Structure 1
Amino acid sequence: MDPTTTTTTSVQKKKSTGRKKIAIEKIERSERRQVTFSKRRMGLFKKASELCILCAAEVAILVSSPAGKLYTFGYPCVESTLDRFLNQQQHDHHINMNNNNNNVGGVLNVSMQDQQQQHEYNEIASLLEQEKKRGEALEFLKKGDWSGGNYNNNYQFWWDAPIENLEFHELNPMKTKLEELRNMVASKLVVDHNINNSSCSRV
C-alpha cells in the first residue's frame, strides 16, 4: 500500500467541523423546547447525583417544565434538604432581628426580609404539595390496581384519582383502561338487551 495514500487518508479522517456551539437563547419551537428541557433536566439531575456521591453533598433541585410540571431531585431527600435551608433562613432572620433591635430602619428591613422568606417558603411548600399529589397519582396508576378500592382513603374508584398533574404519556394507561371499561359496559348492555328481548318473545 502506498504510504502517501495512507497519510492522505489519515489527514482526511481528522478533518471535522468540530462541535458546534449552541447559542444560549430561548427556543421558539415548543416541541424542540420540550425535548431540550427533558434532556437538560436529566443532565442536571445526573450532575447533581455525581456531586452527591463525590462530595457527600446534600442537594435539592426544583425544576418547572414549560408546561408547568414540577420535577424534583434531592439527596438524601428534597424535603429534609429544604427544611434545613428554611430553618437556616429563619435562624439568620432571628440573628438579624437581635442585631437591629434598637434600629427602627433595621427592624423594618428585617420585617421585609421575613415577608420575603415566608413568601418563598409558601411557594416551595405549594410546589412540594403538587409534586406529592402527582407522585401519588402516578404511583397509583403504575400499580395497575384497576379493580376499585380506596385510593389514599379519599377515592372510591381508580378513575377518581387526581390526574391534573400527570404528564401526557402517563395518562395512557388510564386511557386504555377507560376504553376497556367502556367496551365492557357496552357488551353488558347488549347482553342484557338480548336477554330482555328473548324474555318478551316467550311471553
Structure 2
Amino acid sequence: MFSRKNQGSLKQAILFVDELIGMGYLKFSDERYHSTIRDQLIESVQQGYIYTEIDENCVGLDRRSYPADSEELAEGNIGECIRQFLSILQMEKVPIENVVDQRSQERYEVVIDGRAFLIYDDEYVHKTLDIHHGADLWTLASLRTLEIVNLFLEEAGSKERLYFHRGGNDGYVWFLTEDMYQHYLNHLDLIIQNEQFKTSSQMREALYVPECDDK
C-alpha cells in the first residue's frame, strides 16, 4: 500500500492529518487506537493515500471506510454493504433497523424499513445505460449506494456524507463531513489521482443518467 516514493513531506502530512483529526475524524473509532490511527494516516498521506489498517472484514481502523465492491453492489449486495455501518448511521441519528436487497431478473431495489429504493430495472437500463459509452451497472450501483445513504443522513440533519473511493472490485465507501471533504480538496496535491474521493454528483455526471427517486 505504501510502495510509492514520498508524495508529500512529513511536515505536510502531519499538518494535514492533525487538522483532519481536529475536525472530528476520529469520532467513530475506538479511543484506544487514536494514536495508532494518527500515525497510520500520516504515513499513508506521505505516500499519497488516506488510509488506515483494516480488520478481518476489511473495515478501516478509523471506522470511516467500508468495503464496497462495485461488482457485488450491482449484483444485489447494496443492502449488505449498508448493514456494515448501521452502527455509524445510528450514531448520526439514522436508526435503520431493516435493510433488504430485493433483486430479480427484471428489477433490483433496496428496501430500508419499508421504504423502497430503485437501483435499476430493465426499462431503466435500456433507456439510460445501454446508449451511453462507458456507463455500466457497477457505477450505477455505486452511485445509488451513496445517494441512498446520503439521503438518510441529510434527513437526519447529519453533517456526515458518504463518498466513493477507488471503485471496481477495490471500491470503498468513506464517511466524511463537508468540512473534511473541503480540507481534502484543499490538499489534493498530497493525494494520488486514483486514490481520490468521488461524490455522488461526480459519479452521476459520468453516467449521464437522470435522477432515480425512491419508488
TM range (shorter): under 0.3
Based on CA coordinates, which of the two structures has the bigger radius of gyration? 1
| More helix by percentage | 1
| More strand by percentage | 2
TM-score, normalised via structure 2 length: 0.24
TM-score, normalised via structure 1 length: 0.25
- The structure with higher relative contact order (CA 8 Å, sep 6+) is 2
